[in-house]
Amino acid sequence: MNVDITFLPSGRKASVRAGTTVLDASRRAGVSIRTRCDGKAACLMCKVLAENPSGLSPLQDNERRKLAGTDRLGTRLSCQARVLGHAVVEVPEDPLKAAVRRQLMRQAEEDELW
């Protein structure tokens, strides 16, 4: 049985087999989620925010331990959370891209002053 997942903010969607990890679904949708351990729940770089947690598998002990101290409700590791129903997840902006974007905005504002 296939289920749908939507990735925000891009709005890209994928239809995947139920039980597929969010990380694998993101690759199918062409959405980039940072990872260093390639799905072994070691790097903690693949965090996403579940907009409707009922579409994802429940937290398992390993993921719960890894996310201990995360203060944002709905945070999941995309390599551990599996798509079980219609799911919507928000993918945080890559911190390096965010830093470059902020610097470019600052530079554009300075250029306007000249």
Task: Give me the residues that bind ligand FES (CB under 6 A), please.
Answer: 35, 37, 39, 41-46, 77, 79
End-to-end C-alpha distance for the chain, whole angstroms: 59
Smallest distance from ligand FES to CB 53, Å: 17
Q: Rg of the chain over CA atoms, in angstroms?
A: 16
6 or 35: whose CB is closer to ligand FES?
Answer: 35
- Residue 6 CB, nearest distance to ligand FES (Å)? 20
Residue 32 to residue 16: CA distance in whole angstroms? 17
In whole angstroms, the minimum distance from the beta carbon of 102 to ligand FES comes to: 26
Beta bridge partners, 6, equal: 13, 88
DSSP, collapsed to helix, strand or coil, labels residue 108 as helix
Q: Pick the closer one to ligand FES by CB: 53 or 75.
A: 75
